[in-house]
Amino acid sequence: EALGPQEYTALKMEVVQWGAEAAPEVDAKTQGKKVFFIAATLRPETMYGQTNCYVGPNIEYGLFTINDKDVYLCTERAARNMAFQGTTQERGKVECLAKIKGNKLIGTKINAPFAHHGQVYILPMESVLPGKGTGVVTSVPSDSPDDYANLMELRKKAEYYKIDPQWAALEIIPVINTPKYGDVTAETLVKQLKIQSPKDAVKLAEAKEIAYKEGFYNGKMLVGSFKGMDVQEAKNKVRDEMIAAGLAFPYAE
Ligand code: A2H
């Protein structure tokens, strides 16, 4: 755990089509508005490789009015924090249009800013923590061992998790090369450490630590505006590009 405030990049992932269980609860209440899932990330430079986006199936989410046009979907805790960080039109004010449990959001199709796969689906991940970030985690299986292990689990047991296999079928995209682990660092590490499932918490923590350090200190960008550049240098440049394009904003806690 970090000691100071954690600086996230909050990614705006616009809803393209609500899943079958979400539509009856939220569609009418958000007519004429743009709704965005807000995903908090520490690795903005990896967003080219998004293949899906995770919510906690048992977490309660809210749809919060941000201004006249925009509605953000995240935990209430995160919406309150945002209201004091200049995100909302009126400081400190959040209006909740609807509440909805994570499992009902599964299968919703959203835009994935900067990603090779322009649109991705909402899928469940048990390890999403309600008290961290926004409770929405965009998935980059090439560079996040957690994301990779969970995606493999969903692919193996689609029926058990009640998902359409197509929602978890988007191809993994190489984003960063590391000298030790190649073009898909997380996938390589999960295989090397013989991680079998998202429940292998100890090994996953190890893989996460290695992937994070290796990517940050030795990684080079394989794609995007800063292709060929060291990750250390590209990270904030990609972040700035996303913010300038109106596709992300800073979020701290
Ligand atoms: B990261 P820290 Cl490619 N519950 O983004 C569980 N995990 C969460 C979360 C929550 N409520 N909110 C955010 N996260 C994830 C990308 C990424 C991330 C890559 C590699 C590593 C990585 C794509 N997923 O994180 O505990 C988000 O996933 C490894 C640390 O605040 C976010 O960045 O340090 C990161 O964990 C924040 O974790």
CATH number of the domain within which 94 lies: 3.90.740.10
Report whether residue 40 contacts ligand 1, using a CB cutoff of 6 Å.
Answer: yes
Is the pLDDT score of 154 beyond 90? yes
Determine the distance separating the centroid of ligand 1 and the alpha carbon of 189, expressed in angstroms. Answer: 17
- 134 lies in a domain? yes
- 71 lies in a domain? yes
- 239 lies in a domain? yes
Q: How far apart are CA 26 and CA 196, in angstroms?
A: 37
Is the pLDDT score of 202 beyond 80? yes
Domain, as residue range, for 212? 7-252
pLDDT at residue 70, as a whole number:
96
Q: Is 77 within 8 Å of 163 (Cβ atoms)?
A: no
Alpha helices in the chain (DSSP H): 23-26, 76-83, 145-156, 185-192, 201-218, 231-244
Q: Is 79 within 8 Å of 46 (Cβ atoms)?
A: no
Report whether residue 43 contacts ligand 1, using a CB cutoff of 6 Å.
Answer: yes
Is the pLDDT score of 1 beyond 60? no
- 1 lies in a domain? no
- 196 lies in a domain? yes
Which tokens belong to 227? 């292709």
Report whether residue 237 contacts ligand 1, using a CB cutoff of 6 Å.
Answer: no
**pLDDT tens for each residue of 94-120:** 999 999 999 999 999 999 999 999 999
Q: How far apart are CA 184 and CA 75, in angstroms?
A: 31
Taking all residues of the chain, what is their mean pLDDT, rounded to a whole number? 97
Which tokens belong to 165? 């296999």
pLDDT at residue 56, as a whole number:
98
- 231 lies in a domain? yes
Determine the distance separating the centroid of ligand 1 and the alpha carbon of 84, expressed in angstroms. Answer: 22
- 2 lies in a domain? no
- 210 lies in a domain? yes
Report whether residue 132 contacts ligand 1, using a CB cutoff of 6 Å.
Answer: yes
Q: Is 115 within 8 Å of 47 (Cβ atoms)?
A: yes
Is the pLDDT score of 199 beyond 80? yes
Q: How far apart are the first and last CA of the chain?
A: 12
**pLDDT tens for each residue of 3-19:** 788 999 999 999 999 99
pLDDT at residue 4, as a whole number:
81
* Complex ipTM > 0.90: yes
Determine the distance separating the centroid of ligand 1 and the alpha carbon of 17, expressed in angstroms. Answer: 25
Give the rounded percent of residues in the chain with a pLDDT score beyond 90. Answer: 96
Determine the distance separating the centroid of ligand 1 and the alpha carbon of 133, expressed in angstroms. Answer: 8
Report whether residue 208 contacts ligand 1, using a CB cutoff of 6 Å.
Answer: yes
Total count of domains within the chain: 1
Residue ID of nearest Cα to ligand 1 atom 19: 144
pLDDT at residue 2, as a whole number:
56
Mean pLDDT, range 214-218, rounded to an integer: 97
Question: Other C-beta atoms within 10 Å of 232: how many?
Answer: 14
